[in-house]
Structure 1
């Protein structure tokens, strides 16, 4: 989440092909982070998302393809699909990715999904109000899909009062939780 926790570290040596190491060094320079930081980010993404993605039956689809499919649905159909996804898929994914499905794991999944999807996002907590702003650039119907999924989960699964603002390319949602 937002708090940086210092964890104990250990030194370890890996043998990495020179060509791969060169690419990692280039990426670290491009991102203005140390090679150590980049490698730790890669390990974290792998252990928190990619390691379990196949088990959770997650599949990558190009953004443009997904947008075109979603745009073919009416708003009513989209709402029905979203609720069905929330009921049947999201809890299972949460359990596989985090071992639990709580408000805390939901927040963690939304934040990691945003990172993995390369969506610019902002997440903050002020006075127990959690605010997410996610810029997806995938159109109004995608905003509606995500709004419907998250609304169902926040209301039905976590019994949270929430507020949503959606635009053609951005989702903003807020809810209170003192966890």
Structure 2
């Protein structure tokens, strides 16, 4: 098996890879092969995705206080909150915790590092994220979460206040199932 650190850019990989040999149980290998076939990708590419997720997220998840939480429970908690409660949560502990976690995982704190961490957090929490960089250097980010309007409001407020601290002026669209934001770099 080949282990590699890849930098993904439009589904092409640009960084050098290194050869590594690992002994893996046949049951684990069978599951890895089946999953790579299901995803219509090579076994090597799939194993690199698994290893990348481990070093970028799994190693930090418990250290930063993240815990697995069923989406329906989170959606229900947020649905039971009123708008003032959501705003206080987002501007208070939500924002400060997100900043602390971002610094811990990324090792630095700027708008790019924060957005990168948010994307990683959302993807690893079962959300779909699309991030497009425009020709003018601006960013368009869409987070599809299916957690309800109050979760969208929470994300909007937390992202908006953090990005504004960097001098960004994000423009948002929110619905029951997604948050879309645009800002210039």
What SS is found at the alignment partner of 1:153? helix
Runs of at least 5 residues in structure 1 that lack an aligned partner in the other structure = none
1:67-103 CA-to-partner distances (Å, cap 9, x unmatched) read: 1111111001100001113442112101111111111
Aligned counterpart in structure 1 of residue 122 of structure 2, from 107, 114, 135: 114
Aligned pairs, number: 176
State the 1:2 CA deviation.
6.3
CA separation in 2, counterparts of 1:88 and 1:115? 20
Which one is further off, 112-121 or 33-42? 112-121
State the 1:114 CA deviation.
2.7
CA separation in 2, counterparts of 1:133 and 1:23? 32
CA separation in 2, counterparts of 1:75 and 1:5? 43
State the 1:121 CA deviation.
2.2
Residue in 2 aligned with 1:141? 150
CA separation in 2, counterparts of 1:26 and 1:114? 26
Give RMSD over aligned pairs: 1.4
Q: Which has the higher contact order (CA 8 A, sep 6+)?
A: 1
For the 8 Å contact 2:143–2:180, the answer to whether it is kept is yes
1:79-134 CA-to-partner distances (Å, cap 9, x unmatched) read: 00011134421121011111111111112112212321232221101111100011
Runs of at least 5 residues in structure 2 that lack an aligned partner in the other structure = 1-6
Aligned counterpart in structure 2 of residue 37 of structure 1, from 41, 45, 48: 45
For the 8 Å contact 2:75–2:147, the answer to whether it is kept is yes
CA separation in 1, counterparts of 2:24 and 2:72? 35
CA separation in 2, counterparts of 1:145 and 1:75? 9
What SS is found at the alignment partner of 1:172? strand
TM-score by length of 2: 0.90
TM-score by length of 1: 0.93
CA separation in 2, counterparts of 1:77 and 1:114? 22
Residue in 1 aligned with 2:110? 102
